[in-house]
Chain A
Amino acid sequence: MLYFSKLRITLISLVALFFIYFALSNFQDPENSLISKRINLGLDLQGGSYLLLEIDNEPVEIQKLQNTTTVIRNFLKSKKINFNDLRIQNKTIVFTVPIMDVDSVEAFFLDKESEINPYYNQYKSHQFEVIIDDSKFTLSLSKYGLIEIKTSSQDQALEIVRRRVDEVGTNEPNIIKRGNNRILVELPGLDDPMRIKSLLGKTANLTFRFVTQNKSDTFGTEMLQFEDGMSEAMVSKRIIVNGENLLDAQPQMNNQTNETVVSFTLDRVGAKRFGKATSTGVGKQLAIVLDGKIVSAPVIRDTIASGNGQISGGFTFQSATDLALLLRSGALPAPLNIIEERTVGPDLGQDSINAGVIALIIGFLLVIIFMFFKYKIFGLIANVTLLVNLFFLVGILTLFGATLTLPGIAGIILTVGMAVDANVLIFERIKEECKKEKNNIIAFDTGYVKSKTAIIDANITTLIAAIILFIMGSGPVKGFSVTLAVGIFTTLFSVYFIARMLTGLYVVRNKEKDKLI
């Protein structure tokens, strides 16, 4: 066990050098180093913002139900079935039909090919749960219907969030899905997330609609407030153009009025519709509605056929820039709520790194001084092992691009304290064996063999804790579990290769010595 061939010694040294190189590359000037890999710093160390957004899917569900009522109405009309009381009630659609038509209506809902079941083949499930009570139908979204809504609105929202964050131009944002109704946004280096928050807080649903005095408008009307909250106007529900028809939007200075405006360009379809509406509606007021509030309602003076227009509404340059950005990036499918926010300023991050490094150096020094006094020459071996172990740990974290967090640094320091355990177990065992066995080499060999099960069992228990922490933990705590787990492997490697090699070299040279340890 203690004899190492030249080849093995070379191999072990090479592996050690490899990781030491990676560990050291963190401290090099990235310009000059051969491999410029650096450890990723978590948001708590480099500063930045962490936002967890939850999608409020209720409006989407309601919209879905509304669309479905139209489908049902059309179907019933086409079959000439008399229906009563078709409405949405508590997230369900209810209606009644004559008893004799119940079967044919039910068949429609069960039909796997009908437009009411768009994804039966995919999920083997109907979109709606149907309850029939005599002649009364109650439809609610099925489990899969809800999942479908959630995942599709999450996909759309993710895309929009990404566009908006990219437009603001923070460096390397990390935007990922969480569960089926949440989106996680990590913004490194951003110490004030106010602007992003306000951008993500808006759905940015833009519509152009006529202001009307006529209550019996065929499309229905609604009273909407102006953005300033001071006045309101009756607006037709007919949408002339909406945000989807927008090609571009930019903040601009209007030279005539000296006012900041948002100028927009419509796509072909939008331009055509806009031209038609403006030509028939000269003299009318056109309301520009954003998220249920009227931004402005200018009077149409002339036909606008070019598809270019301007929105004015008392903007500052900043608010015009933001509105243009929102319009360019498109509307969110549903409102987003920020349910968790953590922001760390860059100077706190730097302070944390400094404190962590100082704690690491002091902890390391305390441990190696203690080990040296306790075990002398073998303490020295344990200390060299510990140092190599530390390089391994940092090297592996760097190589695999793991994220180092403040608790992660604590994990490294803790590893320093716990890593010597394996060597202590071995040395103590060897001491015991030396009492019984005069031959040093045999005593050392037996010590290594007999301490093995205890070392492995002991390290596996810590590994189990680290794995559970990795699965259940979030953010910075996850970083802790990573360093703890990686630390276990590097410890075992350095103890069984580096320390044993050094011990072997020493013992073989001094095998005649009494009281070696």
Chain B
Amino acid sequence: MFNLISFGLVIISILLLFFKGLNFGVDFKGGTLIELRANDKSINVTSLRQSFSKMDLGDFNIKKFGNENDFLIKIEKKDTSANAIEIIKKDLISSIGASFNFRRVENVGPKVSAELLKSGVIAIALSLAAMLFYIWIRFEWQFSLGAILALFHDVIITLGLFSLFSLEINLSIVAAVLTIVGYSMNDTVVIYDRVRENLRKFSDIKIYELTNISINETLSRTIITSITTLLALVSIYLFGGEILKGFSLAMIMGVVFGTYSSIYIANPILVKLRVSQKTILKEDTE
């Protein structure tokens, strides 16, 4: 049952990633990002949009950012010259007249953004490979396969949700994905550790039963740790400021799916692969 749901979710996520794609931020797509605070309370998205559209900047996007009079402006134009930001500052003041506080300016050239994207993808792939390798050394290949499929599941679904809701992918999301990989693995390993221990103890219990016992024995730990981690993450999401919102949201999704997959993906795979006491004993005698 759960396998079917997971399989469906993964397929939907992959389709979303293929057809809808991800909403890459300035880090990965290049362009300019400006966070500004208007000192004049009457300034809103519409009036800002009007003055920006006069500047011949190509595609741009303005939205409110957090509370007060904060706005986030993203400009896609890639060949921004060195003093483009100074020109924008001048134009903005001359067209609206109010004074602005430029709280944050990020300008990423196309070459750098391509490199950042590449290193982000490599980092995620590398971490998956490293986990695969570590579990393979510590356990058996069946465990390694189960763990890695669970990880794929978590990463793909988290990215799928980001695609579905068009949430922005930036550098901190890559950090979040890697942490999810670590966390989900952490969860899986604790259960696997118990499976291995029980495999040594009981020779007459079927693997299906055995994984069930192991999951139940570790269940309260799994839940408590997820709760404390989520408490910390929700606190970041609610109080940590706008910049950390995407990061903490990705982590929250990842922790939920990571906990779920450790139980419903990683272990059924052990059953499918017919792991038995022999698998473990072979390792012990070697």
Which residues of A does B touch, CB under 8 Å? 44, 52, 54, 191-192, 194, 197-198, 201, 337-345, 347-348, 351-352, 355-356, 358-360, 362-363, 366-367, 370-371, 374, 406-407, 409-410, 413-414, 416-418, 420-421, 424-425, 428, 432, 450, 453-454, 457-466, 468-469, 471-477, 480-481, 484
Contacts and interface: CB of A to CB of B under 8 A. Distances in A.
Contact of A464 (B130, B190, B239): B130
A360 to B, nearest CB: 8
B244 A418 contact: no
A425 B107 CA distance: 46
Contacts of B229: 414, 417-418, 421
B123 A410 contact: no
8 contacts: A345-B102, A348-B103, A351-B241, A417-B228, A454-B194, A464-B134, A465-B178, A468-B126
A389 to B, nearest CB: 13
Interface stretch (B3-11, B47-55, B230-238): B230-238
Given A424-B224, A424-B225, A474 B123 contact: no
B138 interface: yes
Interface in B103-133: 103-109, 111-112, 116, 119-120, 122-123, 126-127, 130-131
Nearest to A481: B175
Contact of A366 (B101, B112, B231, B243): B231
Given A428-B218, A465-B127, A418 B183 contact: yes
Given A457-B138, A476-B171, A477-B171, A468 B112 contact: no
Interface in B68-112: 82-83, 85-86, 101-109, 111-112
A50 to B, nearest CB: 9
B190 to A, nearest CB: 5
Contacts of A471: 123
A486 B85 CA distance: 38
B57 interface: no
Contacts of B217: 432
A460 B134 contact: yes
Given A197-B83, A339-B111, A472-B120, A454 B193 contact: yes
A453 B193 contact: yes
A194 B83 contact: yes
A236 B190 CA distance: 78
Given A194-B83, A367-B228, A462-B186, A413 B178 contact: no
Given A362-B235, A406-B244, A472 B126 contact: yes
A457 B190 CA distance: 8
B255 to A, nearest CB: 9
Name which of B112, B138, B190, B228 has the most chain A CB atoms within 10 A of its CB: B228
A340 B109 contact: yes
A457 B127 contact: no
A461 B182 contact: yes
B261 interface: no
Nearest to A345: B103
A375 to B, nearest CB: 9
A477 B112 CA distance: 16
B221 interface: yes
A340 B239 CA distance: 29
A460 B101 CA distance: 44
Interface of B is mostly: helix
Contact of B244 (A194, A348, A407, A473): A407
Interface string B239-266: 1110110011001000000000000000
Contacts of B106: 341-343
Those 9 A-B pairs whose CB atoms lie nearest each other, nearest first: A417-B232, A465-B182, A363-B235, A355-B241, A472-B123, A339-B109, A461-B185, A462-B182, A417-B229
B186 A458 contact: yes
A468 B228 contact: no
Contacts of A362: 235, 238-239
Interface of B: 35, 82-83, 85-86, 101-109, 111-112, 116, 119-120, 122-123, 126-127, 130-131, 134, 138, 171-172, 174-175, 178-179, 181-183, 185-187, 189-190, 193-194, 197, 217-218, 220-221, 224-225, 227-236, 238-241, 243-244, 247-248, 251
Contacts of A406: 241, 243-244
A477 B109 contact: no
B127 A407 contact: no
A446 to B, nearest CB: 13
Contact of A413 (B102, B120, B122, B240): B240
Name the residue in B35, B111, B229 with the highest tally of chain A Cβ atoms < 10 Å from its Cβ. B229
A425 B102 contact: no
Contacts of B232: 363, 366-367, 413-414, 416-418
A407 B175 contact: yes
B236 A413 contact: yes
A414 B139 CA distance: 27
B116 A474 contact: yes
Contact of B247 (A52, A355, A407, A421): A407
Given A344-B104, A359-B239, A468 B127 contact: yes
Nearest to B223: A424
A465 B228 contact: no
B186 to A, nearest CB: 4
B108 A340 contact: yes
B134 A461 contact: yes
A425 B35 CA distance: 44
Given A416-B232, A473-B123, A358 B239 contact: yes
A371 to B, nearest CB: 7
A420 B221 CA distance: 10
A191 B193 CA distance: 51
B104 A476 contact: no
B39 to A, nearest CB: 12
A477 B138 CA distance: 29
A455 to B, nearest CB: 8
Contacts of A348: 35, 103-104
Given A432-B217, A461-B185, A464-B131, A473 B174 contact: yes
Contact of B221 (A425, A465, A474): A425
B182 A345 contact: no
Contacts of A194: 83, 85-86
B224 A374 contact: yes
B246 to A, nearest CB: 11
Contacts of B239: 355, 358-359, 362
Contacts of A458: 185-187, 189-190
A412 to B, nearest CB: 9
Contacts of B104: 342-345, 348
A476 B101 contact: no
Contacts of B134: 460-461, 464
Contacts of A344: 103-104
B112 A473 contact: no
Contacts of B182: 461-466
Nearest to A356: B240
A11 to B, nearest CB: 29
A370 B221 contact: no
A51 B258 CA distance: 37
A356 B127 CA distance: 27
A458 B138 CA distance: 11
Residue from A343, A347, A407, A469 having most chain B Cβ neighbours under 10 A: A469
